[in-house]
Amino acid sequence: MTVRPIRYQIAALALAALLSACGQPTTPKAEHGNEAAAEEFERGPHRGRMLHDGDFAVEITIFEDGVEPQFRVFPYMKDKPLAPAEVVLTMELTRLGGRMDKFTFTPVEDYLLGAGVVHEPHSFDVKVSASQGRSSHQWTYASYEGRTAIEPAQADAAGVKVEAAGPAEIEEVIAMSGRVELQPQGRAEVRAWYPGRIVSMTKSIGDRVRKGEILASVTSAASLQTYAIPAPISGVIMERNANVGDVAGEAPILVIADATKLHAEFFVYPRDAERLRAGQRIAVRNLSGANSVTSTIEAVLPTADMLTQTVIAHVELPNPDGVTWRPGQAVEGEAVVGSHKALLAVRTPALQRFRDFTVVYARVDDTYEVRMLELGRRSPEWTEVLGGLEPGDIYVSENAYLIRADVEKSGASHDH
C-alpha cells in the first residue's frame, strides 16, 4: 500500500472539507419531459439510454467492442423494434469549452450507425433529433464522465495549481546511485619524517586543523634532534594512531580529511555507460531529497568492476561548508544525456490514471474534466503529448490527485 506524505493527506482532507461545506457538485439532469436523473436513466435491451416521445423511442448506445467508439441507435415503435431505414436521426454533442461534434446516421442491420468516432472523454451535453414519417422528435440530456465543479477559492485553498499546455524541452536522463567520497587531495596521512620517539601531539580525533599548524614533535632516533610535523592540509583529524612516547615509524600517526574537497562516485551499468560523457550535466541529491545540487560529470573511468560490471562516474560535489555532504553518504543522480523539443507537453507529476487511460484534468471556468492523452517521450519534469490536448488548454499541474479524488467521489463514470 502506498502512503502519501502528510502534506498530501492534509491537502486532500482540506479539499474534502471545503467541498462538504459548500455542498456536492450538482449531478446533471436530463432535460426532456419524462427523463429521469442522468444516473438513473432507463436502459433498453442493448443496455443503452432510452429516450421516449409517445409511442416512438430510441435507444442510444456507444459501441466500442473491437472498434473505435461509435454511436449505435436502435429505434422502437410501441416498444417493438422499428426498421432503421424509416428513421432519420442526427445528434449534436456539446463538450466542455463549447466545442460541438455533429453526427449523422445511416441504417445498418437493425440499428442506425453514427458517422464518425465518439472521441474520449464521453462527456457532453447531447441533443438528439429524429423524424419518422411525418412526426419529429427531439431530446436533450447531459452525459458526463470524469467531470467535477470546484469553486476557485476552494481549489486555491487546497493548493490546486493550473497552467497552459505548451512546448517544452524534454531532457533524457539516466538515473544512477552512488556515494560521496573524499577527493584524493582531500585526505592526508601524517607520518614522521624520520623514525623516532613522539615527544608531543597537539590534536585529537575530531579537532580541526589549519594547513601548516604543528601537529606533533618527534625526536629522531638517528640524530637525536627534535623536529615538528605541520599539517599538510586543512581539515578534521579523522584518525589518531599514536600517543606521546610511542615510536613513530612508517605508519601514519594522524589522518586528516578536508570535507570541502568531495566528489560523488556513481555506479553506472554498461548499457548506460556508453551514453555518459565528461561535462554532462547531472542533478545530485541525498536519499531524503533535502539536499540537491546541479553539477557536471568529471570523468567516466575506463575500467569495470569484475563482479558487477559497473563503471564509476566521478561528479564534482561542491561542499564549501563541509557539512552539507558527508563522505560515505548515499546519493542519487540523474544525468542529462539528450534532449528533445516537444511541441506540446505537460508536467509529468500532473499525469493521473482514469479507467485504462493516462489523463490530465483540464479546467474550464470552475469545471474540471479528464483529457485522455496519447503520450510520447517523458522526463521527471515533462511529458510529451501527441494527442488528447490542444496547445493553450488549461490543465491541473499540481495536486491533480485532489481533482481525481473528487471526480471519483462524485461518481462521474463511463456510463452510456
Same domain, 223 and 159: no
Which structural domain, as residue segments, surrounds residue 69? 38-143
pLDDT at 26 over 50: no
In a domain, 344, yes or no: yes
CATH of the domain at 236: 2.40.50.100
In a domain, 130, yes or no: yes
CATH of the domain at 383: 2.40.420.20
Which of 315, 338, 361 represents a domain boundary (last residue)?
338
In a domain, 6, yes or no: no
pTM of the model: 0.68
pLDDT at 31 over 50: no
Q: What is the pLDDT of residue 7?
A: 45
Q: Are strands 49-53 and 56-63 parallel, antiparallel or unpaired?
A: antiparallel
CATH of the domain at 87: 2.60.40.3340
Same domain, 58 and 88: yes
Read off the pLDDT of residues 130-175 as tens digits, 9 standing for 90 and up.
999 999 999 999 999 999 999 999 999 999 999 999 999 999 899 9
Q: What is the pLDDT of residue 61?
A: 97
pLDDT at 8 over 50: no
In a domain, 28, yes or no: no
Same domain, 264 and 243: no
Same domain, 271 and 370: no
pLDDT at 5 over 50: no
Same domain, 233 and 119: no
Same domain, 138 and 112: yes
Sign of the torsion formed by the C-alpha atoms of 114, 117, 123 and 127:
negative
Burial class (CB within 10 angstroms; exposed 0-12, middle 13-18, buried 19+) of 99? exposed
Read off the pLDDT of residues 229-274 as tens digits, 9 standing for 90 and up.
999 999 999 999 999 999 999 999 999 999 999 999 999 998 898 8
Same domain, 51 and 137: yes
Same domain, 139 and 95: yes
pLDDT at 33 over 90: no
CATH of the domain at 302: 2.40.30.170
In a domain, 9, yes or no: no
Read off the pLDDT of residues 86-106 as tens digits, 9 standing for 90 and up.
999 999 999 999 999 999 999
pLDDT: which is higher, 36 or 403: 403
Mean pLDDT of the chain: 89
Read off the pLDDT of residues 326-379 as tens digits, 9 standing for 90 and up.
999 999 999 999 999 999 999 999 999 999 999 999 999 999 999 999 999 998
Q: What is the pLDDT of residue 28?
A: 39
Please report which confidence band the pLDDT of residue 19 belongs to, taking 50, 70 and 90 as the band edges.
low
In a domain, 13, yes or no: no
CB 228 within 8 A of CB 203: no
Pairwise CA distance, residues 351 & 344, whole Å: 14
Please report which confidence band the pLDDT of residue 45 belongs to, taking 50, 70 and 90 as the band edges.
very high
Please report which confidence band the pLDDT of residue 13 belongs to, taking 50, 70 and 90 as the band edges.
low
Number of domains forming the structure of the chain? 4
Pairwise CA distance, residues 381 & 403, whole Å: 20
Which of 319, 338, 357 represents a domain boundary (last residue)?
338
Which of 287, 314, 338 represents a domain boundary (last residue)?
338
Q: What is the pLDDT of residue 304?
A: 86
Q: What is the pLDDT of residue 306?
A: 83
Q: What is the pLDDT of residue 212?
A: 97
Q: What is the pLDDT of residue 416?
A: 55
In a domain, 203, yes or no: yes
Same domain, 139 and 265: no
Mean pLDDT of 71-96: 97
Same domain, 178 and 272: yes
In a domain, 2, yes or no: no
Same domain, 167 and 313: no
Residue 173: strand pairing partners: 336
Q: What is the 3-state secondary structure (H, E, C) of the chain?
A: CCCCCHHHHHHHHHHHHHHHHHCCCCCCECCCCCCCEHHHCCECCCCCEEEEECCEEEEEEEECCCCCCEEEEEEEECCEECCHHHEEEEEEEECCCCCEEEEEEEEECCEEEECCCCCCCCCEEEEEEEEECCEEEEEEEEECCCEEECCHHHHHHCCCEEEECEEEEEEEEEEEEEEEEECHHHEEEECCCCCEEEEEECCCCCCEECCCCEEEEEEECCCCCEEEEECCCCEEEEEECCCCCCEECCCCCEEEECCCEEEEEEEECHHHHCCCCCCCEEEEEECCCCCEEEEEEEEEEEEECCCCCCEEEEEEEECCCCCCCCCCCEEEEEEEEEEEEEEEEEEHHHCEEECCEEEEEEEECCEEEEEECEEEEECCCEEEEEECCCCCCEEEEECHHHHHHHHHHHCCCCCC
Pairwise CA distance, residues 383 & 263, whole Å: 31
pLDDT: which is higher, 404 or 306: 404
Same domain, 200 and 309: no
